[in-house]
Structure 1
């Protein structure tokens, strides 16, 4: 996010820290009171100050550090759900209690409110939409894996099947948007894999053709190695095959024939069958 600096005719970048209760007011500035955030110096000011006392190389190093990751800050929303300041303040306090280390009694009380207060329950869909819809919030690309682990623990601990279905369904819709980045799709596949083979079958299999179109002629390696030098299509290919290989190890894999693999894995059927034969050869 940035604010216009009219005096210097440049842009001063703001150090933004996303607060949990911001997620319930898509497209509007929170009405609940917030402490003033500090501003990162604009590049014009940075240049004037650093050139007086530093070598050129040091200037560029510090300028790069000060440059924000814009793709992690831009938030675009199309639908606005206005909430009163009172609702925002209530949700803010509950979220702070839930995530803070402190009195267990307060945490239990906050959980009781989240379970029983219909006003609070109505906010759940907005939070899930924020997490899952990378078209509205690009920061979801970087946070989705971490948020997935948190949601997984919440859904399993408190037995929330309907909330889980809604979340996974929203995440699944990322495959329907042509502008969704490969990084987001990798995170979504990671999510489905984390939730288990049944989720992979229900929410991922329906998008296998779209994924195949994206990764083209990619072929799975014998061993997956994570590397920052990988291209986006390679990361996406690794992610989908890792998820499918986990599925074939589960009891849901009824047969291991070529025909069956083509039937359930579609365009990935032949590659999956080759892996099955390869594993059988070495085991």
Structure 2
């Protein structure tokens, strides 16, 4: 059955039945607005939009996969502020001929990813559109902590990374070349594995700055360097190169460090910490902060691509 046959309110009804309830949800879907508990008295908010053909392709990803990706892109931003995600609002613009089961699968993916952090989809909107578009707003709770921003890095700090990097970019290259394996890389593109808990953890450890790496490590660290008025050097020998990634790079004629340093969509968290801080195993040091500006690799300018730019 198409969405045109279901109708707007039939579509909403089908989606709402698939949405869970988070611990911060006081009033969920069904009223003019949702009510979400903010025990801290402050609300962290972020929004992101995914457009078919620009951010995803339905022949590469299932509906649930796209739901996971849409939720992860926003939930990671909340974690990167040192906050705990509490709720998602989703606006869905769809072609009227789209099968309603696709929208249900999308709702399942959004719900499952939000559930990983105890959050829920609490409302949103729908509209007809010739281009399938998903706009998500995420809310979060700092729970008494100070937000960790991009402008606090200091010379002498170490740069550390939590989460995997380069996997999703490698998976995108594999898919764009018409292949469906290695499964490890393709699955990483379809569903990010975001270390959400590492954001609040970094705040407790005294992180001086933090960012969600969504568009490429060098590009996103460049935002930190600019905001903090410092230079950042990334150490190439700090990165593990999995065998499947190495093999895929060789087969496709790609420098794997292009995936590691400039690839997006894995959503690891990058943070700077004062020297001497003992970091848990999931945080690995990948660079250092110094007086200066910009981002270098092994103290040299990086000559490859920097990362994703919507308008480039």
Return the TM-score normalized by structure 2.
Answer: 0.24
Name the one with the larger strand percent. 2
Q: Which of the pair has more CA radius of gyration?
A: 1
Name the one with the larger helix percent. 1
Higher RCO structure (Cα 8 Å, ≥6 apart): 2
Return the TM-score normalized by structure 1.
Answer: 0.26
